Amino acid sequence: MHTFLHRLTQTNPKAVGFAYGALFVASFGFLYLGTLTELTTDWSTNPNFSHGYLVPLISGFLVWRDKERLRALPVTPWNLGLAVLGGGLLLFWVGTIGAELFVMRCSMLITLAGVILFCLGRQWARALAVPLCYLMFMIPLPTIIWNKIAFPLQLMAASGAAQALSLLGVPVFREGNVLQLATTTLEVVDACSGLRSLMSLLALGAAFAFLSSLSPWKKWVLFLSSVPIAVLVNVVRLTTTGLLAVYVSPETAKGTMHDLSGLVAFGGALFFLYFVNQCLDR
C-alpha cells in the first residue's frame, strides 16, 4: 500500500492530492454529517460555546499561514495511520451506541489525524498538530464536567466580589453564591461564573500565543494567563454590578446593563491578555 501510494504521488501529485481531498470530504461528510449538524446547533443555542463558530476559522487560518512550509513537505503516506483512523472510527461507533455526543465529536479529530497520517505522512501530521488540536475548543464540554467547574467558579467569583465590596465600604453578606446587599440580592448564577468567558478567552489565548513571536515557554505562560485574567475580570464585573445596584439602582444590575457589562469585561480581558504578551515580549 505504501509503495502504491508513493508511486501515485510521484506520477501526478496534484491530481492524487485532489482525489484524496474529494474522497475524504465526501466520506467525512457522510459519516459525520449528523454530528456536525448537532455541533453547530449547540453553538447557536448554547451561549457558553457560541465561540465555536470562530474555532474552525482560526484553525484554517493557522494552516493557511504555514502554507509555504506545508507545500515544501514531502508526501510520505504512513500505513500505521490506518490504526489511528480505525481508532477514531471505533470511538465514533462507541459514542453512537452510547449516545455520547462528546465522544462522537472527539472521534472526528482522531479520524482526521488518522487520515493525515495515512495519506500525507508523519511530517504533515506534526506540522498540522496545532491547528488540529485547536479544534478541541469547538467541542462543548459534557454537562457533568461543566457543572463541576462552573460551581466552584461561582463561589470563587462571589467570594472575590464580596471581599472587594467590603473593602470599598459596601455592606455585603455572602451566603454561598448569593450576595445580600442593602438594596437588593445578587445571585452569581452559572452564566456569571466566568466559565463562559474563560472558555472563549482560552480559545483566543491559544491562537494568540501560537501566532506570537515569543519563545515556547513564554507562549505557555501567555496561554495559561488566560485563566487568572478571566477570573479577575469576572470579579471586577460582579463588584461593579454590586456598586451600581447600591449607588444607582437595583435595576442596573439586570437586563441590558448586565449583558453590556459582560461584553465590556471580555474586552478588558483581551486587553490584559495583550498587556501580558507585551510584558513577556520585553
Same-domain check for residues 135 and 43:
yes
pLDDT surpassing 60 at residue 6: no
Of the candidates 90, 62, 111, which has an alpha carbon nearest to the alpha carbon of residue 211?
A: 62
Same-domain check for residues 136 and 26:
yes
Same-domain check for residues 101 and 172:
no
Last residue of a domain, one of 109, 140, 171: 140
What mean pLDDT is predicted for residues 84-102? 87
Residue pLDDT, tens place only, 184-241? 777 777 666 677 788 888 888 888 888 888 888 988 999 999 888 888 888 888 888 8
Of the candidates 177, 174, 181, which has an alpha carbon nearest to the alpha carbon of residue 150?
A: 177
pTM of the model: 0.80
Domain that holds residue 107: 2-140
Distances (CA, A) of 219 to 8, 205, 235: 40, 9, 25
Last residue of a domain, one of 123, 140, 157: 140
Phi, psi angles (nearest 5°) of residue 174: -105, 130
Same-domain check for residues 74 and 119:
yes
Same-domain check for residues 39 and 88:
yes
How high does pLDDT run on average in the chain? Answer: 82
Same-domain check for residues 62 and 178:
no
pLDDT surpassing 70 at residue 1: no
Roughly how many angstroms between the first and final C-alpha of the chain, as a whole number? Answer: 51
Same-domain check for residues 39 and 24:
yes
Of the candidates 86, 75, 48, which has an alpha carbon nearest to the alpha carbon of residue 200?
A: 48
Same-domain check for residues 38 and 79:
yes
Return the higher-pLDDT residue of 139 and 180.
139
Same-domain check for residues 95 and 163:
no
Cell 494568540: give the residue.
208
As separate numbers, helices (DSSP H) first and strands (DSSP E) second, the chain gives 13, 3
Same-domain check for residues 19 and 133:
yes
pLDDT surpassing 80 at residue 111: yes
| Confidence at 19, pLDDT banded by 50, 70, 90 | low
Last residue of a domain, one of 140, 169, 193: 140
Q: Where are the alpha helices (DSSP H) in 51-169?
A: 54-65, 67-71, 81-97, 101-119, 122-127, 129-134, 143-167
| Number of folded domains that form the chain | 2
Residue pLDDT, tens place only, 151-187? 888 888 888 888 888 888 888 888 877 888 877 777 7
Q: What pLDDT shows up at residue 190?
A: 63
Q: Name the amino acid, one letter, at 91.
A: L
Sheet bearing 185-187, strands edge to edge: 173-175, 178-180, 185-187
Same-domain check for residues 130 and 167:
no
Q: Name the amino acid, one letter, at 205.
A: G
Same-domain check for residues 105 and 160:
no
Helix, strand, coil percentages, rounded to 5, for the chain:
80, 5, 15
